[in-house]
Amino acid sequence: RESKTLLLEAQILNCLGKVDACVDVYQKLNKSGIKLIEVNLVAALIRAGKASQVLESLKIRPTTTYQLAYNTACSLIENSNYVDAEQLLLTAMRIGQETLTEGDYSDDYIETQLAPISVQLAYVQQVLGQTQESKSSYVDIIKRNLADESLALAVNNLVALKGSKDISDGLRKFDLLKDKDSQNFQLSQELDAKLSHKHKEAIYANRVLLLLHANKMDQARELCATLPGMFPESVIPTLLQAAVLVRENKAAKAEELLGQCAENFPEKSKLVLLARAQIAASASHPHVAAESLSKIPDIQHLPATVATIVALRERAGDNDGATAVLDSAIRWWSDSMTDSNMLRILMPVAAAFKLRHGQEEEASRLYEEIVKNHNSTDALVGLVTTLARVNVEKAEAYEKQLKPLPGLKAVDVDNLEKTSGAKPIEGISAASLSQEEVKKEKVKRKRKPKYPKGFDLENSGPTPDPERWLPRRERSSYRPKRKDKRAAQIRGSQGALTKVKQEEAPSTSKSKQAAISKANAAGPSSSKASKKKSRR
């Protein structure tokens, strides 16, 4: 009876989201002999973020049941071991098919029980780059319309896989998950009870992103307003609200909102500060972007972060702040004594930056330190170039360490410095060049034309016109038609031309009628002759 009470307590704690307490209870029941207790324990460990303990501390056989194989595969997925997870999921599918078929269950029941394995297998295929297989699996699960968490996960993963493609289709698929009695988007009570906190947050977040892609700003704003109450301990609702503000060209408000969120959730501030830095950099606020990156201790002294902060400070005109960032990074890596390659990367960059901004002495000191510690030829060149502006004698001393260039032994540098440089040769102009030299410059290599196979060049007939592919008006032989000059001689008031034409019209028609009557009187032979004349 005590074991059953603890089992009920563990299930209640699991439903309430208190996964750590749930794991403690299941660990007490691990040796109680209750059926499928290992399955629940593995599931609780995964939800608590302790998937690494499944295979390390628990001595279990994952292929005992299909449920245990499925949960163990989920722990492998949490540890990013997707190849082994795919094989274990296929094993779980086979074991489940055999077990449920032997139990004389209906086909619908078997599909419902194995649907979570199908969704998880499709997700693993998606991560491994097998997009077509995973997409067809998602579509097949959605067509079954199982109305459980498998359908919700398949819809969410398919929408995430498509991205910004088929936005309207993605919104329609999300409508399959909503509560039918609610006008706004809200998950049905059955899905809300079965789905984990993480899955529900992903579904709502993807719904907001689709609305932003569809430019349905009012719906996105309304849905974002409800998310902080649903997920009070998460920073995702704040990130979505910032995305809506950015789409509305309110970058300053988005930066302020993210700054407050970073202060309220310092342990989760990394993602928020990165988003704030990106928004500020895109909105031409380099001070805010540099400040945001400077508040992330994990990546503070990495070369990429240092380079970005220095560029932002320099764009904002804060050269002293950029110098301080470089000095701090060099000092941190010097004290850490973990990776000397980082100093080899950072110190030349810092020296070049200081040299560019007129700090020759500091730049020469850095170059000199690089030469002593790392024996770099590039740093030696930079040191000589820098010292030439500050201390010429020291520059000459370091210059002797440079290797001589091949082919320069016969060059007398002292005499070369005394000369005033190369001068143009007087008395020779382009007009004085001989005609033969000019012709040699103009002569181009003539290539033999290529003829088709079996072509007889001697009996080829007339040469084709080289302009035959050009339009007629672009050919050299084209002559445009002359305009009638008599039309320009007509003068008078407006409409005089139409009056003359109207007066001439009946006379011409009478003359034509007389000609036709004469032709008819002459017989058929005269008509043929007139036709021949007209053809000529």
More confident residue, 225 or 527: 225
Query: What tokens does 121 get?
Result: 């297998």
The reported pLDDT for the residue numbered 492 is 56
> What tens digit of pLDDT does each residue of 391-407 get?
787 777 777 777 777 76
More confident residue, 313 or 4: 313
* Number of independent structural domains in the chain: 1
> What tens digit of pLDDT does each residue of 228-244 get?
999 998 999 999 999 99
The reported pLDDT for the residue numbered 278 is 94
> What tens digit of pLDDT does each residue of 145-174 get?
776 788 899 999 999 998 888 899 999 999
Indicate whether 415 belongs to any domain: no
Query: What tokens does 217 get?
Result: 């700003």
> Angle CA(341)–CA(346)–CA(350) in degrees, nearest 5?
155
pLDDT exceeding 70 applies to what percent of the chain?
A: 77
Indicate whether 203 belongs to any domain: yes
Indicate whether 235 belongs to any domain: no
Indicate whether 333 belongs to any domain: no
More confident residue, 178 or 442: 178
Q: 213 is in which domain, residue-wise?
A: 149-226
Query: What tokens does 135 get?
Result: 């997409």
Q: How far apart are CA 384 and CA 402, in angstroms?
A: 9
The reported pLDDT for the residue numbered 535 is 42
Provide the CA 481 distance to its chain's centre, in angstroms: 59
Instruction: Choose among 426, 359, 423, 413: nearest CA to 386.
Output: 359
Indicate whether 248 belongs to any domain: no
Instruction: Choose among 146, 124, 200, 207: nearest CA to 173.
Output: 207
Q: How far apart are CA 202 and CA 227, in angstroms?
A: 11
Indicate whether 197 belongs to any domain: yes
pLDDT band at 509; cut points 50, 70, 90 = very low
- Burial call 288-310: b when 16+ CB within 10 Å, e when fewer: bbbbbbbbbeeebbeeebbbbbb
Amino acid of residue 433: L
> What tens digit of pLDDT does each residue of 337-383 get?
666 678 888 888 888 888 888 888 888 888 888 887 777 778 888 88
Q: What is the dihedral of CA 92, 97, 103, 104, to 10 degrees?
A: 160
Provide the CA 536 distance to its chain's centre, in angstroms: 72
> What tens digit of pLDDT does each residue of 59-110 get?
667 777 888 888 888 888 888 889 988 998 999 999 989 888 888 888 888 8
- Is the pLDDT at 496 greater than 70? The verdict is no
CB atoms within 10 A of CB 527: 12
CB atoms within 10 A of CB 408: 8
Q: How far apart are CA 327 and CA 181, in angstroms?
A: 61
The reported pLDDT for the residue numbered 51 is 59
Q: How far apart are CA 144 and CA 140, in angstroms?
A: 7
Instruction: Choose among 315, 310, 317, 316: nearest CA to 294.
Output: 310
Indicate whether 534 belongs to any domain: no
Indicate whether 322 belongs to any domain: no
